Amino acid sequence: MIFGNTVLVIEHDTEFMNNADYIIDIGPGAGEFGGEVVATGTVHEIIQNEKSLTGKYLSGKLKPYESSRKRESIGKNLEIKNATANNLKDISVKMPIGKLTVISGVSGSGKSSLVFDVLAKEMENYFGNQKLYKNENIMGLEEIDKYITFDQNSIGRSSRSNVATYTEIYSDIRTLFSLLPRAKEQKLNSSHFSFNVSGGRCEKCEGMGELIIPMHFMPDAQVICPACHGKRFMKNVLEVEYNGKNVSDILNLPIESALDIFSEQKQIYEKLKFLDTVGLSYIKLGQATSTLSGGEAQRIKLAKELGNKDPGNTLYLLDEPSTGLHPHDTIKLAKVLDELCVAGNTVVVIEHNLDIIKIADYVIDFGPEGGENGGYVLASGTVSDIINCKESATGICLKHTAYSKKIPLTI
């Protein structure tokens, strides 16, 4: 280290880890399935440890996702001409419909401006009034039936909104509990299993499981409710159990455990499986949506959308959904994006993760720098086209990984 400082970094990027002096690998899983030190040591020692999933990716024993299926295209494009939002320099681009397009480039180079300030805004205007809509600088909108944006914004500002309620899994769970023999004996209906309305919830904490104590000149203190002891519900409601779990227990379950509990409840199981598919098996059903990271929030929204049985040619716009993901979970995300395209949808993703960029049908690379020095399209086309662009930092990184690190990485 320069100047003799010590640097401790939480990181998933394999390139970064390969340059570390020492690694502490935590696992083996996430949430309640993690919390153990799986391996410690140099990169070589981590690779040699068979218990380390990280080591398997560092060694190359486990590979990034590669699609084995063909993504059909209708041969048409979304085309944007002369875009000038924020730092965009009068650019023109196209995005193939029915394919996976990745928008790449250094931070601040104009990626979000194109996707959200131009494309998403025009989609909103178009679907707001298709008959009167007219913009000669964007074409192909008529090929899309609907669009959905997934940005880094929080999906819930209220502590009452949690993973189970947001994905609508909890409605099915409440219905299931209301049909159990014990619930019928006590004449409990589905509303009694809701912590948002009076009836079955603890009224001392109004179903929150904790009390907020104002501390005047200090931050408010949170204490466990003395009436329900954090259980959220009244005693008679907690007496109703499914597979040995009451409704409070269910809310404290991570997705992975909930899959086992509800394995025989098809509707609930399928929704849980979508959350698992996008790499959120460690998230608890009762976790407040306001506490989710931007990447987690996007994947929660994506899982909810996957559960939508409504067919249609949809445009999905995502903003760095791989943020915070281990390579093992990135594979799950890549598979989901692939399946969306295989199903006939169009996916546009802002992404820095090389494992996601590699599976794209089409890449639009921005640069050369951020801010006023960005806003230009350096290259567009296949991954090979980006690699062959000498001005593209993304292309240099892709070329570096394509040759298994046999060439020096210099930018």
Domain boundary among 253, 277, 301: 277
Which residues are 25's β-sheet partners?
39
User: What pLDDT, on a 0 to 100 scale, did the predictor assign at position 129?
Assistant: 86
Residue numbers of the domain that contains 332: 77-155+293-402
Q: How many CA atoms lie within 13 A of 11 on its CB side?
A: 16
Sheet bearing 362-367, strands edge to edge? 146-150, 314-319, 346-350, 100-105, 362-367, 376-381
User: What pLDDT, on a 0 to 100 scale, did the predictor assign at position 406?
Assistant: 45
**Would you place residue 275 in the very low, low, confident or very high pLDDT band (cuts 50, 70, 90)?**
very high
Instruction: Yes or no: say if 59 and 327 are a contact pair by the CB < 8 Å rule.
Output: no
Q: What is the mean pLDDT of the chain?
A: 89
Residue 70 maps to a domain: no
User: What pLDDT, on a 0 to 100 scale, did the predictor assign at position 229?
Assistant: 94
**Would you place residue 407 in the very low, low, confident or very high pLDDT band (cuts 50, 70, 90)?**
very low
- Calculate what percentage of the chain has a pLDDT beyond 70: 94
**Would you place residue 411 in the very low, low, confident or very high pLDDT band (cuts 50, 70, 90)?**
very low
If one counts the domains in the chain, the total is 3
Residues 97 and 129 in one domain: yes
Residues 297 and 389 in one domain: yes
* Per-residue DSSP letter, 234: -
What are the angstrom distances between the C-alpha of 97 and each of 59, 122, 372?
Answer: 36, 16, 30
Residues 355 and 325 in one domain: yes
Q: Give me the helix-helix angle, 294-306 and 327-342, nearest 10°.
A: 40
pLDDT tens per residue, range 117-150: 999 999 999 998 888 888 889 999 999 999 999 8
Q: Is 40 helix (H, G, I), strand (E, B) or coil?
A: strand
Residue range 225-250: mean pLDDT, rounded: 95
Residue range 241-251: mean pLDDT, rounded: 96
Domain boundary among 277, 307, 342: 277
Residues 180 and 258 in one domain: yes
Residues 151 and 174 in one domain: no
Residue 351 maps to a domain: yes
**Separation between Cα atoms, residue 252 and residue 162, nearest integer Å:** 11
Residue range 256-282: mean pLDDT, rounded: 93
pLDDT > 60? residue 210? yes
Q: Is 218 helix (H, G, I), strand (E, B) or coil?
A: strand
Residue range 63-92: mean pLDDT, rounded: 86
Residue range 40-53: mean pLDDT, rounded: 95
**Would you place residue 157 in the very low, low, confident or very high pLDDT band (cuts 50, 70, 90)?**
low
Residues 177 and 242 in one domain: yes
